[in-house]
Amino acid sequence: MSKKYNNSLVWFRRDLRDYDHAALSHALQESNHVFCIFIFDKDILNALKNKEDRRVEFIWESVKELKESLREKKSDLIVTYDLASHAISRAIDEFKIDAIYTNRDYEPQAIKRDEAIKNLAIKKNVAFYDFKDQVVFEKDEILTALEKPYTVFTPYKNNYLKKLNQTTLPRFDIEPFIKNLAQFKAEPLLALKDIGFKSTNLSEIKIHTGMTGGKLLVEDFKERMAFYKKTRDFPAIKGVSYLSVHLRFGTVSIRQLFRLALESFSEGSATWLNELIWREFYFQILFHRPDVAAGKAFKKEYELIAFENNPEYFKAWTEGKTGYPIVDAAMRQLNQTGFMHNRLRMIAASFLVKDLLIDWRWGEAYFAEKLIDFDLSANNGGWQWAASTGCDAQPWFRIFNPITQSLRFDAQGKFIKKYIPELNSFNEDEIHAPWLSQKNHKINYPQPIVDHASQRIKALALYKSAKN
């Protein structure tokens, strides 16, 4: 049977795998020869100040594996360091491309970039196709009865679950069409230094990269998923899936994870499914309200809160030196590993905004720089949730008490001690508020930089005046 196109190009971005891949599957079925490309985009990379960036190394390692996997299939992966428009234009000319296939990205900058590539394709008389791949439902697929986007999670989730079934989780097969991968040999993979970056501590902290890493974590989590609800809030316990970075870069398939959750029939899998839906909720918020990506509050009445923004307090928070152990341990975990447990993200964010009275946008930017699983929609959604400026049914007077949170979620102080060895001699009764202990003067650990009770009163007054 004759194919629609002779030569097609699959452009990989946030989908670094060669299985269950919408764009690749469609291209292989519709083309005689499919070429694959990944671009280390100069527009994105040159904006990163830190040249020892764990995310870039994670991508590089994952691209390396993808290239090897395609080579095993008698094809290859073109990898370039360039502007997207230059790299795509060159590939079109060199390989006589008739059609471009890619998976959709929903961030404002990505949408703008893809529009430019679409226009380039039109000029060169090349077809352009994009597909839904990193979410199950996108854009306007889940709307209220009035055909409006949801602004509160629970009704969104309820509608989502009504629509979710096996037909909404298609499998995009690759294997039956593998012979249509173009047989060619691309240039060897660029080294990290070729794109202006250095190696990090990724292997030291045992971050599993690529498709292989994703599969390992999925298999590991399968065994623990039933207990997820009971264990997910405790950072000293191996309770979460650790799949967020793999979802961010598409080294696992979101449809595969949904299938896994739906097939498991446990309290834990239902809770995990909930978290996967939260991810998509934030995607659709960003799509319908791109202004939140530009620093705007979701709830416009909180746009101009008069935060104190003490730079010394902010510095102490970023360094994990606030004097509140659970907050400091969380920040040190982030700085040392690029990861922070989700419960701790809520605690650290609440502390910055409602104890230190610092603009949530400062925290959002810091997390954006440090988190290996940084995702614009989830990061913004999480910070606005913590700051009570986002799409949250809970009112603005929700303020986490860092000591109560510490006692509840790290009762024995195991997590705290891992990242604050200065407190190793403190027992579980002392470690949550070390300034009250007799040993306090003997250790090199700061006194609390603020008093929670008095800052809480100030925060309430601040929000009340903004509301009025």
Same domain, 240 and 270: yes
Residues 6+ apart with CB under 8 A from 382: 282, 345, 346, 349
- pLDDT tens readout for residues 6-17: 999 999 999 999
Say if 385 falls within a structural domain: yes
Same domain, 457 and 331: yes
| Mean pLDDT for the stretch of residues 156-175 | 92
- pLDDT tens readout for residues 398-455: 899 999 999 999 999 999 999 999 999 999 999 999 999 877 667 889 999 999 999 9
Sequence-distant contacts of 24-30: CB under 8 A, at least 24 apart: 24/101, 24/172, 24/174, 25/172, 25/173, 25/174, 25/177, 26/101, 26/129, 26/131, 26/172, 27/99, 27/101, 28/174, 28/177, 28/178, 28/180, 28/181, 29/177, 29/180, 30/3, 30/4, 30/5, 30/99
Q: For residues 400 and 405, give the distance between their C-alpha atoms in angstroms, rounded to a whole number.
A: 7
Instruction: Indicate the pLDDT class of residue 468, thresholds 50, 70 and 90.
Output: low
CATH of the domain at 416: 1.10.579.10
- Report the mean per-residue pLDDT for the chain: 95
How many separate domains does the chain show?
3
Q: For residues 256 and 264, give the distance between their C-alpha atoms in angstroms, rounded to a whole number.
A: 12
Share of the chain above pLDDT 90, in %: 90
- pLDDT tens readout for residues 4-50: 999 999 999 999 999 999 999 999 999 999 999 999 999 999 999 99
Say if 53 falls within a structural domain: yes
Same domain, 406 and 346: yes
Same domain, 22 and 112: yes
Same domain, 118 and 139: no
Last residue of a domain, one of 72, 102, 132: 132
| pLDDT at 288 exceeding the cut of 70 | yes
Share of the chain above pLDDT 70, in %: 98
Same domain, 159 and 229: yes
Same domain, 68 and 90: yes
| Mean pLDDT for the stretch of residues 387-392 | 85
CATH of the domain at 143: 1.25.40.80
Instruction: Indicate the pLDDT class of residue 332, thresholds 50, 70 and 90.
Output: very high
The pLDDT, as a whole number, for residue 398 is: 82
**Which range has the worst mean pLDDT, 164-168, 255-259, 400-404?**
164-168
Phi-psi group of 125: left, alpha or beta (phi > 0 → left; psi -120 to 50 → alpha; rest → beta): left
The pLDDT, as a whole number, for residue 394 is: 67
Cβ atoms of residues 363 and 354 within 8 Å: no
- pLDDT tens readout for residues 216-249: 999 999 999 999 999 999 999 999 999 999 999 9
Say if 196 falls within a structural domain: no
The pLDDT, as a whole number, for residue 1 is: 61
Structural domain span for residue 388? 300-467
Same domain, 111 and 145: no
| pLDDT at 143 exceeding the cut of 70 | yes
User: Which class for 464: exposed (0-12), middle (13-18), buried (19 or more C-beta within 10 A)?
Assistant: exposed
The pLDDT, as a whole number, for residue 265 is: 87
User: What is the pTM assigned to this prediction?
Assistant: 0.95
- pLDDT tens readout for residues 49-84: 999 999 999 999 999 999 999 999 999 999 999 999
Same domain, 87 and 148: no
| Mean pLDDT for the stretch of residues 104-117 | 95
- pLDDT tens readout for residues 313-330: 999 999 999 999 999 999
| pLDDT at 393 exceeding the cut of 70 | no
